[in-house]
Amino acid sequence: MTSNTKSLQNLYINFLKIVAFLSSLMVLFILLPIVSTVLNQLFDLNGLIKAIQDKAVWDSIFLTSYAALLSTLIAIVFGTPLAYLLARTDFYGKSAIEGFVDLPVIIPHTVAGIALLAVFGSSGLIGSFSPVKFVDALPGIVVAMLFVSAPFYINTAREGFQSVDLRLEQVARTLGASQAKVFFTITIPLTWHHLAAGALMSWARAISEFGAVVIIAYYPMIAPTLIYDRFLTAGLAASRPVAVILILFCFAVFIFLRVLLWGRKNEHT
Partner 1 sequence: MGDKLKMLTIILLISLIFAGCSMKDPTQAKVKLKVLHAGSLTEPFKELKKIFEAKYPNVEVQLEAAGSAKTIRKVTELHKEADVVASADYTLIPKLMYPEYADWTIKFARNQIVLAYLDTSKYANEINSNNWYEILRRPDVKFGFSNPNDDPCGYRSQMVIKLAELYYNDDSIYDDLVAKNSNLRWVEENGNFVLKMPNSENINPNTDKLMIRSMEMELIYALEAKEIDYYFIYRSVAQQHGHKFVELPAQIDLSSVEHADFYKKVKVILANGKEVTGKPIVYGITIPKNAVHRDYAEKFVELVISEEGQKVFEKLGQPPITPETDNFEKLPENLKKYVRS
Q: Rounded to the nearest 5 degrees, what angle is found at the Cα of 118, between the Cα atoms of 114 and 124?
A: 155
Task: Count Cβ atoms below 10 Å from residue 68 Cβ, excluding itself.
Answer: 25
CA distance 86 to 161: 9
60 counts as binding partner 1 under rule CB under 8 A:
yes
228 counts as binding partner 1 under rule CB under 8 A:
yes
Those residues with Cβ within 8 angstroms of residue 190's Cβ, 6 or more apart along the chain or in another chain: 163, 164, 165, 168, 268
From the CB of 264, what's the least distance to partner 1, in Å?
Answer: 38
Span interacting with partner 1, options 36-44, 54-62, 193-201, 202-210, rule CB under 8 A: 54-62
215 counts as binding partner 1 under rule CB under 8 A:
yes
From the CB of 249, what's the least distance to partner 1, in Å?
Answer: 17
From the CB of 253, what's the least distance to partner 1, in Å?
Answer: 22
SS3 37: helix
Radius of gyration of the chain (CA): 23
Nearest alpha-carbon partner for 237 in 80, 94, 51:
51
235 counts as binding partner 1 under rule CB under 8 A:
yes
Q: Which is nearer to partner 1, 183 or 231 (CB)?
A: 231
- Under the rule (CB under 8 A), what is the footprint of partner 1? 7, 10-11, 14-15, 18, 56, 59-60, 114, 117-118, 121-124, 133, 135-137, 214-215, 218-219, 221, 226, 228-236, 238
